[in-house]
Amino acid sequence: SQQGEEDPQALSIQEGENATMNCSYKTSINNLQWYRQNSGRGLVHLILIRSNEREKHSGRLRVTLDTSKKSSSLLITASRAADTASYFCATDTGANSKLTFGKGITLSVRP
């Protein structure tokens, strides 16, 4: 069953704008991870945020986690055409430590 649900399902923005993607989940987690996937290729790990953390930054990425609302957001600032990809949140619930992926968000950045 799906643990993470991303919102929106698709997002189209202009280069230079910020992109915000949200993820909601159902059960308590050890950590939440964000991945990027370019069309038909493997996933690339972007950032991991632990359940006791509220915010993390990595370059142009900012991730927040609200465990009381069971939600996370991924902000990509100053987007580039190369950011065009599918983005997945994935939760580690600690049960066997397997990752459960959300359905994904398709981000299109127009040059």
Partner 1 sequence: DTEVTQTPKHLVMGMTNKKSLKCEQHMGHRAMYWYKQKAKKPPELMFVYSYEKLSINESVPSRFSPECPNSSLLNLHLHALQPEDSALYLCASSQGLGREQFFGPGTRLTVL
Interface residues with partner 1 (CB under 8 A) are 2, 30-31, 33, 35, 40-45, 48, 88, 92, 94, 96-104
State whether residue 81 is helix, strand or coil: helix
Using the structure block, give the residue that is written with the tokens 């990752």.
99
- Give the nearest distance from C-beta 43 to partner 1 in angstroms: 4
- Order of strands, edge to edge, in the sheet holding 19-25? 4-7, 19-25, 71-76, 61-66, 55-58
Pick between residue 40 and residue 111 the one whose CB is nearest to partner 1: 40
Of 44 and 78, the one with the shorter C-beta distance to partner 1 is 44
Q: How far is CA 34 from the centre of its chain?
A: 4
- In the complex with partner 1, the residue whose CB is nearer, 15 or 51, is 51
